[in-house]
Amino acid sequence: MPVIKTRSRQKNTIAGGSMEAAAELGVLFGCFKGVCGKCATTVLSGLNNLSALTEEEAAMDLEPARRLMCQCTIDKGTVKLDLD
């Protein structure tokens, strides 16, 4: 079962599940469409457990370890986010 973690909390999720579940862990969201950038979050580990970069993320020219939580899904393993 895939797991989304911060430094102090974690949430079990499902394979292929939206990273929007990270809202419960403190990720802030705005548009949910990959436009506003509010959900951009640094991934400390498990970047390869996320789905491929979307066109919206590529257009935003994020630093390599940052992903838009409204755009990616978690495929497997553990993804640790740079939050508390």
Among 14, 31, 58, 65, binds ligand FES (CB under 6 A): 31
Among 36, 44, 53, 62, binds ligand FES (CB under 6 A): 36
CA dihedral (49, 4, 56, 58) positive or negative = negative
Query: Segment contacting ligand FES (CB under 6 A): 4-12, 31-39, 46-54, 72-80?
Result: 31-39
Residue 29 touches ligand FES, criterion: CB under 6 A: yes
CA distances from 21 to 8, 56, 61, 63 (A): 16, 19, 24, 22
Residue whose entry in the numeric block shows the structure tokens 């993320």: 57
Residue 30 touches ligand FES, criterion: CB under 6 A: yes
Determine how β-strand 3-5 pairs with β-strand 17-18: unpaired
Binding site for ligand FES (CB under 6 A): 29-32, 34-39, 68, 70
